[in-house]
Amino acid sequence: MKTLLLGMGNPFLCDDSVGVRLAADLGRASRGIPDLDIVEECSAGGLNLLDVLRGYDRAVVLDSIQTVGGVPGSWCRFGFEALDGTIHLTSIHDVNFATAIRLGRRVGMHLPSEIHIFAVEVLENRTFSERMTPELEQAYPRIAREIFQQVRSILRACPRPCPEKSGGSQVRGSRAASERMP
């Protein structure tokens, strides 16, 4: 099963970099896993994400989230359907993640049938900084350990017969950008 590990975010926007950092760290630890491609840094959204996801059977997306009353350092896991109501769009001509996936499938694009999203609650995602806030930095080792455990479980699972293939993971850097855990 061809899998994409995708780090979403901007490494220059404080806590928004958490998805990028998780993808880079998990990518280093996952080298050699067959049929795993890693895009450490992606800031694409809406319809532009279709080009990033095209050709994969499964996607694991690592990103940040900021919710009302959210506790920085907590994280949640959900499928793309949970993003139906999001409106973090850069243009009124763009669409949210869930709508983009449905549209891509409707026009026959080969997009992942499994999409697992891990979103880390952040404190600050609008300040230009290459460093995360002290609160998130302190929580990062725990966040990484917990999410890595979940991702490894996903990567080991194969819902249909997995063909035996040789080869390892491929890491690509890119500038392209439900359970709650404490």
Structural domain spans, the chain: 3-181
Whether the pLDDT of residue 36 is over 70: the answer is: yes
Question: What CA–CA distance (Å, rounded) separates 19 from 6?
Answer: 8
Identify any residues that bridge with 181 across adjacent strands, giving them in sequence order. Answer: 75
Task: Give me the mean pLDDT over the 34-45 stretch.
Answer: 92
- Tens of pLDDT along 95-153? 788 888 989 999 999 999 999 999 999 999 899 999 999 999 999 999 999 999 999 99
DSSP lists the bridge partners of residue 58 as 3, 114
Contact yes or no for 30/168 (Cβ under 8 A): no
Contact between 100 and 53 under an 8 Å Cβ cutoff? The reply is: no
Residue 176 has pLDDT above 60, yes or no: no
Per-residue pLDDT tens over the stretch 59-86: 999 999 998 999 999 999 988 776 655 5
User: pLDDT value at position 8?
Assistant: 94
The class that CATH gives domain 3-181 is alpha beta
- The verdict on pTM exceeding 0.85 is no
Q: State the Cα–Cα distance between residues 58 and 56, nearest whole angstrom.
A: 6
